[in-house]
Amino acid sequence: MRRFAAGVLAFRDPVGLLERTGREGDLVELTRGKRPVFVVTSPDLAREVLETKADVFLKAAGSERLERVMGDGLQLSEDPHHAAQRGLMDRAFDHDHVVPYAEAVWWSAERILAGWRPGRVIEVVGEMRAITTGAVLRALFADANGAEVDRLTGDVTTVASGLWKALAPGAAGVKRALLPGFGRFGRALDSIDEYVAGAIRRRRSGEVGGHDLLGAMLAARPATGSGATAGPEGVPPGSGGMSDREARDEVISLLLAGRGTITAGLGWMWRELGRNPEVERRLHAEVDGVLEGGRSPAVADIGRLPFTRAAWDEALRVLPPSWVLRRKAARASELGGRAVPEGSTVLVNVIGIHRDAARYPEPGVFDPGRFLEGGRDPVPFDYLPFGAGPRGCIGFHFATMEAVLLIAGIAARWRLEPVDPDAELEFARSITLRSKRPIRMRLSAR
């Protein structure tokens, strides 16, 4: 009965289910049986799942069809391939190496903001998605022109929104043509693959320099002494670098999974800012003092925007896009002194941890002050917007830089007013936390 009830609640209101489950204890057995489902709502237990016992609790991609679309990139792979790829990519995504890609962020933003007009009502998540997709495309492919970025943005949006069709039974082979929209999905994926293959080829041949994310990925080599002895296709023997297929899979992972968190987070950020006028006034005052005359922001400005950064961090706490992290027990283990059988599903309740009143008083209140100096006493694993441990989001530094630049640059020029400020918040049934209804906002020039 409990399993049936949990299943119904998970279908109707998965976010509400995890919030309620989190109040029942640090570790709750949501369903029983040979392969039970456990919910973890404790920083200590989250650390066990995500870090200490990361070799036991695997990410469990779960679908061969999903893997056929996204490949064996960081998003889906497990060790030892995941560790090898992470080792190759970490340096390209560290704080210092993502700084040059700030230009790509604002290049994309300016193209979208050029169409904004006072009084216009926008669906803010869609606008942010266009900016963030364009930014990651330009960061990956510095030689891509505006028309190519627009085409690829459309292709990525089509693949991302229709990805569920690749998981449907019978979606492979001849039945692909019978699924509404699947032909468009397949053509979009083929278009992305064709462009990525050409981009890799141009960088391998030296036709295009390596001053972008793709170039950095292709140039990456393992630490001394750990290189491969046989070079894969397109890589010199002994180099230990990525093969063309591996680079393709990492690009697809970045395009389909990497943009989701920041897009959703920016949507929630503007919603919360518009509903909290005191916070909005303070953010505008900070931005106006840094970006004199509404100039475009630069990386050097980020250190002078502590409240803007804190507002972003708080938006990810109140409404974390990655609201739950799913793991599968590869072998029998234990958590919190309780047995966890092999095959069990473990859900790290990120939204429950973020809304624990013992750690965050008045957890539903949007208060950026929590993330300013002296605002909170950080506890490891009590804040998980980008995951943690060996599978923590590799794009954390890029996403943070991108978010602060976009929030500051947009807020210097525009005020976004909620069209329906008192509308009841309902969440869509989605891997990423997003609103069931469009978040509509009216533009006012500042």
Please report the pLDDT score of residue 342 as a whole number: 94
Cα atoms in the 13 Å half-sphere on the side-chain side of 13: 10
Question: What's the DSSP call for residue 366?
Answer: -
Q: Round to whole Å and give the CA distance between 264 and 128.
A: 8
What is the C-alpha separation between 64 and 7, in angstroms, rounded?
Answer: 24
Return the pLDDT at 181: 61
Query: What gap in Å lies between CA 8 and CA 6, rounded to an integer?
Result: 5
Q: Which residue has the tokens 């560790």?
A: 83
Q: Which residues contact 195 (CB under 8 A, 6 or more apart)?
A: 141, 148, 152
Amino acid of residue 14: P
Ranges under pLDDT 70 in the chain = 1-12, 60-66, 73-77, 164-182, 210, 223-240, 258
Strands (E), 331-394: 333-335, 338-340, 345-348
Are 305 and 286 contacting, i.e. CB atoms less than 8 angstroms apart?
yes
pLDDT at residue 175 in the model = 45
In what helix (H) or strand (E) does residue 328 lie, and over which residues does it extend?
Answer: strand 325-329
Backbone Cα Rg of the chain: 22
Give the relative orientation of helices 396-411 and 124-140 as an angle to the nearest 10 degrees.
Answer: 130
Q: 343 and 35 in contact (C-beta within 8 Å)? A: yes
How far apart are the two ends of the chain, measured CA to CA in Å? 56
pLDDT for the residue numbered 172: 52
- pTM of structure: 0.88
Task: Summarize pLDDT for 316-357 with one digit per residue, the tens.
Answer: 999 999 999 999 999 999 998 899 999 999 999 999 999 999
Q: What is the 3-state secondary structure (H, E, C) of 213-227?
A: HHHHHHHCCCCCCCC
